[in-house]
Structure 1
């Protein structure tokens, strides 16, 4: 009996060690992905500035990217729990093969329709574009829709990696796509303009698919010779489609913003896109990381019918998200002019463009915070296979975004677009939390509120400490200001949260110390 318990303890420690390593690798890969995406935006800004060419490219990318996110993020949210459940029934490989083949068919159809109809819907969506901008937008859209069939296959394999806790592999494959776009732009932007980015993206999706197949095929997990099981495929897509549509809501709302921006002066679409991408970096790095790592654990809790563990996982995810995101967002808010000037002011991107992008960025911060927290709530819905419950709320959020955009753009021009996004995000996340809270029979709201207040106080102390520092070193090089303020802010924030006895911070410290202790014990045993 004692031996059995010791074996179980070692297995648990080994599992935690693997998950910890996977988490570290995923955070590193996420950081590299966001940096590569940032470099891509810098390349676009360098070559095309805030011209109609940049507007056309960025506006065109939004529509196919809606389907790309529908396939990639939606596939992960739907496939991870279904694959884990299939593994419990000893039919994981069969389920993988059927989903993969069904996705090829569906993504091919989407690709053909998107390419064929591009000359019709681009002029309808962006009637204020000039003739040259419309032509660029149409052809860029066609090229991007050609990638969808490869994106679909990539999405299934990335979801497989996530289900196996190999989070970093899916990130690496996405980095390959972005790097391909960057290289193509550097080599061919002067010859074929914005088309170079789209062609580079297409080449990158093919390279990424080959990379994944090289990893998966030798393991004989993907047996494509099996016949189509349309019932299996239909059952999966019955869950996947509402989940994918919910994921696509964010991109639809971004498209709404770009459509409104296209009615203003040249460059407005560019300011909106660059500001959104930059401000949402903390969400992309930390928000998605925490959500992705928590997701398999939540799915496992549901598969083993452990509802208490499921609720604690949601609560821990929310507090960890708030602990990391709030100071990151406030820090970026204080440093935003320095960051945008450092990253974008070169080549065709002028000081005026920097100022306009900064003004837009300030108003996007609300959407980052709320959507980051919503990442955990969504994972809860998807783990329960209840993604369809939030589909109606998602649809209403689009209508709300349109109404708010009308109101706010009439008031402050294109700057009303990010303000509308932030207000909409608050309403959207609030509604989803109420539905989720009732669905799972409640959470420890008092404990969550106390923890959130501690984090807010610690962030306020941090802000009060670094603002005078920022004034004192004003005039130094941007990069030095950013590094000094970031380091000082991190030290003050961690110390403040620790003194306030933040449960989320103490949890992270405890886990870190335990990992060090386990590592030392393992070394001594050897």
Structure 2
């Protein structure tokens, strides 16, 4: 069979439609015990239950993701304290390119783009045909073993080819042999990362969020354990070993919940139904998703390549700045992680209106959170970097350079949030798994399938052009400027692509909301800068600047009519100042 032919997974499911569940327990499942058919989707009570479900899921995800982010920040603090910003950390960061590339491909982006829609479609088919072979279990048998074989082969190739990889990524590196050693260690993360991404996608599609949210807690605990105990003996190699160990812990957290979930869905075997009740795997549909993720990640490759020719420490400054900048993205990413299965389920059921409404809400909410975080970084970058990193081998010069890079990086953070929201429904329209009776269930891809790749490629060209032009004069700042310009160009193109794909965003409404939020963010940053400059103490400066930014963003967003800001602000005010109850009718005031 050629690669153009779809691979069929017999997932027949004869039987009638499932009766509605109207009992008193409907809608009471938590993030790890959802109802069988997911969060409710119709009617005012069901909409309220859906919001409650999403709120609980977001709360669980936010709590564990915040813990993972804190541990990740502690990891970066220890890297800065033990090794500073020098040729040793540059070598490790070049080796870290392997897990940095594998994580988006296998956990955060490509694997989720492929498998959340696939499992969502299997779940829709399960609900339509509740008897016969389980589509979810059939999908797992058809995909997981092959995935593990491919990932194991990729890991071996990365280990063997580590010297060539280092020369390709950073030809001007001061200590290439150390980078090769660290790359061979981090190459072992490919297999556990892939397993973790697969299990995470399956669990989220089932609306189970606790275990997937805990993976970065386990990952960073593994890195910290090796850093704390072995840094004096193995130097920066201890960080690479910690990355490999943490990836094993990451996959281990998910195995038990996944196996338990599969066992809970066993049902009696029945004869297979008609061919239209089966799912079809489209192998070539993987290619645009993987190419998009690699092209997006290529911005890091450009930075490492051009940065290797700068003075030692430049790559490290870019890395520390990127880690701090990404903190502004955390809450926005959590929104997308929680709502993506909802969007994918709506698209699998053919409800384009519900998917569009959810995407529009996600665009507004994610942008609001990112712009508030960006305004904070613009105002408080020097004090934040000094507070976090300026100790041990990390000196005042490193603080100044890193803070400047953060402010330039911040210009591209809103575009990163928009891309994170838009690309998920884009790839869910034509998922890697489709119904057998779907006219699109062929082994071919279309030019429109490759549109996100083209958008990111054009953005990458902008990144390269700006970086090459600006780096000789501005150094690391030029690379950061190229990153911000390229990702912004790609976001604009991808919004156009979402319309072409069939999700009819109401552009005047979306762009008007984005403009209001941008104005609030610019105003908040402008007011936060003088507030942060009142004192030289890093902690006090961060607190003053952060408070000014939050209050200004809330006030400006409410005054400008941004619903993503006005709703929470008015809700908070009502909670703090509840209206007094009206006097009972027919009663005179006391004493009259």
Give the CA deviation at 1:68.
3.1
Equivalent in the alignment of 2:96:
61
Range that drifts further, 61-70 or 16-25: 61-70
Q: Could you say if the C-alpha distance between residues 492 and 365 of structure 1 is closer, same or farther in structure 2, counting changes exceeding 3 Å?
A: closer
Q: How far apart, CA to CA, are the structure 1 residues paired with 2:103 and 2:525?
A: 38
Match of 1:32 among 67, 71, 75: 67
Q: How far apart, CA to CA, are the structure 2 residues paired with 1:365 and 1:49?
A: 23
Equivalent in the alignment of 2:239:
197
Give the CA deviation at 1:199.
1.2
Range that drifts further, 30-39 or 185-194: 30-39
Give the CA deviation at 1:122.
1.3
Q: Deviations over 1:198-222 (max 9, x none)?
A: 1122222222222211222234459
Q: How far apart, CA to CA, are the structure 1 residues paired with 2:425 and 2:284?
A: 18
Give the CA deviation at 1:29.
2.0
Query: Structure 1 residue 127 and structure 2 residue 127: aligned?
Result: no
Give the CA deviation at 1:67.
2.5
- Cα contact 2:225–2:242 (8 A) shared by 1: yes
Q: Could you say if the C-alpha distance between residues 145 and 190 of structure 1 is closer, same or farther in structure 2, counting changes exceeding 3 Å?
A: same
Equivalent in the alignment of 1:88:
124
Query: Structure 1 residue 273 and structure 2 residue 319: aligned?
Result: yes
Q: How far apart, CA to CA, are the structure 2 residues paired with 1:510 and 1:309?
A: 26
Q: Could you say if the C-alpha distance between residues 271 and 33 of structure 1 is closer, same or farther in structure 2, counting changes exceeding 3 Å?
A: same
Q: How far apart, CA to CA, are the structure 1 residues paired with 2:508 and 2:167?
A: 52
Q: Give unpaired runs (5+ residues) of structure 1.
A: 224-231, 516-526
Q: How far apart, CA to CA, are the structure 1 residues paired with 2:239 and 2:517?
A: 41
Mapping of residues 476-515 of structure 1, within 5 Å: 477-508=537-568
Give the CA deviation at 1:497.
2.0
Equivalent in the alignment of 2:416:
371
Equivalent in the alignment of 1:524:
none
Range that drifts further, 64-73 or 295-304: 64-73
Q: Could you say if the C-alpha distance between residues 464 and 278 of structure 1 is closer, same or farther in structure 2, counting changes exceeding 3 Å?
A: closer
Match of 2:518 among 451, 456, 460: 456
Give the CA deviation at 1:192.
0.5
Q: Deviations over 1:47-71 (max 9, x none)?
A: 1111100000011111342133211
Mapping of residues 34-433 of structure 1, within 5 Å: 34-73=69-108, 74-90=110-126, 91-130=135-174, 133-221=175-263, 235=281, 237-283=283-329, 285-385=330-430, 388-433=450-495
Q: How far apart, CA to CA, are the structure 2 residues paired with 1:407 and 1:234?
A: 48
Q: Could you say if the C-alpha distance between residues 360 and 510 of structure 1 is closer, same or farther in structure 2, counting changes exceeding 3 Å?
A: closer
Q: Could you say if the C-alpha distance between residues 235 and 196 of structure 1 is closer, same or farther in structure 2, counting changes exceeding 3 Å?
A: same
Q: Deviations over 1:242-289 (max 9, x none)?
A: 213312323221011011111011101101111111112111x12211
Query: What secondary structure, in the 3-state scheme, does the structure 1 residue paired with 2:328 have?
Result: helix
CA RMSD of aligned residues (A): 2.7
Query: What secondary structure, in the 3-state scheme, does the structure 1 residue paired with 2:161 have?
Result: helix
Give the CA deviation at 1:347.
1.0
Matched pairs, number: 501
Equivalent in the alignment of 1:435:
497
Give the CA deviation at 1:32.
2.0
Query: Structure 1 residue 19 and structure 2 residue 80: aligned?
Result: no
- Cα contact 2:67–2:217 (8 A) shared by 1: yes
- Cα contact 1:359–1:415 (8 A) shared by 2: yes
Equivalent in the alignment of 2:3:
none
Query: Which structure features the higher share of helix residues?
Result: 1
- Cα contact 2:124–2:349 (8 A) shared by 1: no
Give the CA deviation at 1:508.
4.8
Give the CA deviation at 1:183.
1.6
Q: Could you say if the C-alpha distance between residues 68 and 11 of structure 1 is closer, same or farther in structure 2, counting changes exceeding 3 Å?
A: same
Q: How far apart, CA to CA, are the structure 2 residues paired with 1:167 and 1:114?
A: 32
Q: Could you say if the C-alpha distance between residues 121 and 204 of structure 1 is closer, same or farther in structure 2, counting changes exceeding 3 Å?
A: closer
Q: Deviations over 1:392-429 (max 9, x none)?
A: 22233333322322111133223211111111111111
Q: How far apart, CA to CA, are the structure 1 residues paired with 2:97 and 2:280?
A: 28
Give the CA deviation at 1:488.
3.3
Q: Deviations over 1:295-322 (max 9, x none)?
A: 1121122122222222222221111122
Q: How far apart, CA to CA, are the structure 1 residues paired with 2:427 and 2:186?
A: 28
- Cα contact 2:65–2:217 (8 A) shared by 1: no
Q: Could you say if the C-alpha distance between residues 492 and 221 of structure 1 is closer, same or farther in structure 2, counting changes exceeding 3 Å?
A: same
Q: How far apart, CA to CA, are the structure 1 residues paired with 2:402 and 2:396?
A: 10
Query: What secondary structure, in the 3-state scheme, does the structure 1 residue paired with 2:281 have?
Result: helix
Query: What secondary structure, in the 3-state scheme, does the structure 2 residue paired with 1:89 have?
Result: helix
Give the CA deviation at 1:83.
0.3
Give the CA deviation at 1:35.
1.9
Give the CA deviation at 1:171.
2.6
What is the TM-score of this pair, normalised by structure 1?
0.88
Equivalent in the alignment of 2:506:
444
> Higher Cα Rg: structure 1 or 2?
2
Q: Could you say if the C-alpha distance between residues 459 and 210 of structure 1 is closer, same or farther in structure 2, counting changes exceeding 3 Å?
A: closer
- Cα contact 2:343–2:425 (8 A) shared by 1: yes
Q: How far apart, CA to CA, are the structure 2 residues paired with 1:159 and 1:414?
A: 36
- Cα contact 1:93–1:221 (8 A) shared by 2: no
